[in-house]
Structures are given as C-alpha cells and as structure tokens.
Amino acid sequence: MQKNDLLSLHCDGLGADMEGVCRHEGMAVFVPGLLPGEEGQVRITKVQKKFAFGRLMELIGSPSPDRTEGNCPSWPRCGGCSCRHMRYEATLAAKQKQVEDCFRRIGHLDVPVLPCIGMENPDGYRNKTSLSIGGTAEEPVLGFYAPRSHRVIPAEHCPNAMDPSGDICTAFLSWMKAHAIEPYSEETHTGLVRHLVIRINRRREAMVTVVINGKTLPHAESLAEALAPVGMQSLVVNENRERTNVILGRSFKTLYGPGVLEDELCGLRFSLSPASFYQVNPVQTEKLYQTALDFAELTENDLLCDVYCGAGTITLMMARHCRKAIGIEVVPQAIDNARENALRNQIPNADFHVGAAEDVLPRLVADGLRPDVIVVDPPRKGLDPAVIDAMAKAGPRRIVYVSCNVATQARDAALLDAAGYRCVKAQPVDMFCRTSGVENVLLLSKLENAEHIDIKVDMSELDVTKAESDEGATYEEIKAYVKQHSGLNVSALYIAQVKRKHGIIERECYNKPKKDNGKTPVCPPEKEAAIEAALRYFGLIK
C-alpha cells in the first residue's frame, strides 16, 4: 500500500474518533466518514508501519441504515462533529461500546456499562464555544482549525452552539471589519485577536471573552456597543501572548458588565468567571450529576469530598444530601466562585480548598480527613498518582468517578481496583452530541473484606511494559498517530520521556539538554496522555 493508492475497502467497525476502521492486507486503515458495513472507494493519504489513513472518495453500493445527512455547511471540513453523518441512536450505541472497550482493553476490567443517556434534541446544546480567528483584517473568519492545519474553517453559526452565539459572532466580525482589527496567525505569531470565547446561560445571556496577543483591545467601547444588543452581558479581554495552542492566558480584564455570568443548574444558582470550569451541556449535565448523586447514595451523616470541584456545582448539589461537603480546585477564581455560590444558595455545610488536588488531598488525608464518599471529576489526563494514593489511604466506602476521557478513567480504575475498590457499574452520558466524546460516571465500591495497604502508586504499575524491539513503532509513526488522533505535535524528546516513564529504555542523550547549563523541557500532561495512547496502540505498553 502506498500514498495516493485508490482502494475499495470494507468498514468493519469504528475507531476512537468514530472513523471507519477497514483492513487491507492485514493493515488497519482509518477512514473518517465510513460506517460499519459500508464499502467505499478510499484514497490513501498516509501510510505508517502498522496502519494507514484514507479519505472516502465515494460509497460503493448501499449506504448503511445508520447514515444520515450532515446538516451543517462547515461539516466535515471543520473536523468538529465526527459523527454528524450518523443516526443519533447509532452514536449512542457506539459510545456505549467505546466505554466497554476502554475498560476491557486498557483497564482489563469487566465493568457493566449501562446504555448511553442521550438528548431529545441533540443540537444547540453547547453553552460555551471557543472559536479561532483567521483570515485578514478586511475579511476576518471565525471558526475552527481544520484537522492537522492552521487554516480556520468558517463556523460562526455552529449548530451545536446555544443561541445567540451566531448573532454574537456576526456582530463581532462586523466590528473587526469596521476597525480593521488584525487576526492572529499561529504560524507567524503576529496579529492581535486570537480567539472568541462565548459562554451562555439558560436565559440566553452571554459572557464574551476576547483573547488577544497584546495588552489592550482597541475600540473596546465600540465592541461593547455592538454586542450588547445581541445578548452580551459581560465583555472580558484575556491576554495570551504565548506561542501555544492553549486558548486562555492568565490575565483577565473586564471591559463591560460584571465580568461573571449567572446560571442555574440542578435548582442552584451559580456565578461563573471566564476561567471557571463548567459543563458545556446544561440539559445533560443535570442528568450526569443526578447519576453521580444516585451512585453516591449519600446519607445525612456522610462526609463528602469533591476533588476537582470547579465552581462547586457537584459539591453544592451533593451538600444538600450529606452532613458536610469539601471541594478542592486548583483555579483560584473558580474557588472564589464556589464560595460565592455557597453563600448565594444558602448552603452552609460546604468548605472549599484552593490548590492542586495532588497537593491538597494528600495533606488533608494526612491530617485525618476520612470522607465516606469521594467524587472526582478530573481533566482529560485523569488522576494524579498522588490523588489515587490519598484516596486509597482515606478509605471511603464509595468513589464516584466522572470523566470526559474514558481511556484515562479505565487506567485509573485498574489502579483503584488494585487498591481494594471494585468497579460496580458505569453510566455513559452523551454530553458532546454529534462528536466522538462521551462523559462517563463510574461507581467504585470498597471491598468489605479488603484491608488498606499503603501503596506508592506509579503509572508503570498498571502498564507492564516490554523493551522496544524491532517490531515497535518508529518515532515518526508515533508522532503521526498522536497528530492524527489528538491534533497535537510532539517531539522525540517528549516521546522518549514517556517511554522512559513506562520502563522502555532509551538512549541517554534523548533526556539531556543541549548545553551544559540548559534545562530539559518536561512533556506537558496532555501530550503525555496522547503519547501513551499511541504507545498502547503500537503494543509498546498495555
């Protein structure tokens, strides 16, 4: 098989990104847009040692009964909705299977997985949309980067976004044109406006954050005048002058309005800052949190600990059902919001701690914290080993693990299983309709006959590794896999660091700085997780 070959391929299943998985002469070929049971003419776009990528040119024969029309002018160019061509019911079944496969393949666990909870109307659900800005000062563009490129695909009227996101985008583009505001270029690190982040509440009020490559936003008063009539309640500018794909920088300045957004969830009122974590789908969030509450089975005498609590949504909802609730969150603004939310909702039995979970939870446990139930809702990279160790030492009777990345959740579940916690059941919830993403709630219960043993948790304890052999993947293949499946660029140094972490011996020079007094860059967590996924795929780790 070579690049540009035109092949007739049959789709046998779906991959992690809902792409079709085909086989040609024993090699896996990933083909976005092809559904199980379909055959298509496929143009090979890239060939690696153990797999290849292809582009669907046309279907051969009858389409799958699960195929439907993608009702969006930006699809599939924007790369956002990886299953907009599928019947919604088929995506729910595929997500349930995805959860089952992750626990079995990554965690080596047999976990009962319930049918995925879907939406009655799976469009217009996102309360937060982060759009990249491209084009020119004369013709600016708002949208999303095309896969594996710096090209912005126009998507200012994304069908996933809540109203009035589209109207805000239209007004913002008109303002940029009127004042010849230069869009930011990732390739040259020039231009001013990088991103537009729109957060909307259930009253259809919006908080708009403009991310800029500079200190000040010119014509800010004119922008506020343009956005206020279409639902904008707060206008915030965020400074991000780093060469990074991270959207928000650290510095925020409110230009108009209160600088926060009020919203209602699970019968509680919340105040959100631009940096606060808040689930993007309010309808499904209430189903997700109700599931977490049901799994927790709290009593009025229980002590609850909510790790990675964000603005306190889960903490405060569950505080109404227990003696006391403790929340931990690393973002100071989110903790400020959480404390304000506790006062606003007259919930006196909630206490919040600011700091990294891997620092705060072990300290609290060492000081005698023994919660009856622990809830965790970590970022995509999953739980830090120090958090897992502290949870095992605390010995709650139940752990409720909420995750947007089932792969890392399955990895962590295996570690918790080794520490004496049985995986009881999992409930997927479709928070990210039309995409491959799925949120999952996992219930773990402490084994009654298990005695706690102090353990030092290390990720390599889960993945029994083998030394790299001639059958292993090359660095270029690993880089290509990571780019295809996560959109991230990783260096040979980062790959070497992750391999060394998992016991795969590397040449010493990969981990040393070029200069005697130089510092070696450390692989960021999101890139580490992406590299680990590639290593698992190639069989270098389990």
Q: Which residues have a catalytic role annotated?
A: 404
Burial level of 453, CB count in 10 A (0-12/13-18/19+)?
A: exposed
SS3 277: coil
H or E stretch at 203 = none
Beta strands across the sheet bearing 140-145: 152-154, 140-145, 128-135, 193-200, 206-212, 232-239, 251-256
Q: How far apart are CA 489 and CA 302, in angstroms?
A: 45
Radius of gyration for the chain, computed over Cα atoms and rounded to the nearest angstrom:
24
Spatial contact of 336 and 327, defined as CB atoms under 8 Å apart: no
SS3 67: strand
Task: Specify the DSSP class assigned to residue 115.
Answer: P
The three state secondary structure string of 323-370 is CEEEEEECCHHHHHHHHHHHHHCCCCCEEEEECCHHHHHHHHHHCCCC
Cα 21 → chain centroid? 23
- Total Cβ atoms within 10 A of residue 471: 11
Beta pairing partners, 145: 152
Q: How far apart are CA 283 and CA 160, in angstroms?
A: 13
List phi, psi (to 5°) of 289: -70, -35
| Locus of tokens 């309640």 | 233
DSSP H helical segments within 180-281, as ranges?
220-227
Beta-carbon-side half-sphere exposure of residue 542 (alpha carbons within 13 Å): 13
Burial level of 466, CB count in 10 A (0-12/13-18/19+)?
A: middle
SS3 284: helix
**Sequence-ordered strand ranges (E) for 156-315:** 193-200, 206-212, 232-239, 251-256, 261-265, 268-272, 303-307
Give the tokens for residue 308: 């990675």
Task: Specify the DSSP class assigned to residue 256.
Answer: E
- Smallest CA-to-CA distance from 118 within 92, 99, 90 is with 92
Give the tokens for residue 457: 């948790």
Beta-carbon contacts of 188 under 8 Å, excluding residues fewer than 6 positions away, are none
The three state secondary structure string of 411-467 is HHHHHHHHCCEEEEEEEEECCCCCCCCCEEEEEEEECCCCCCCCCCCCHHHCCCCCC
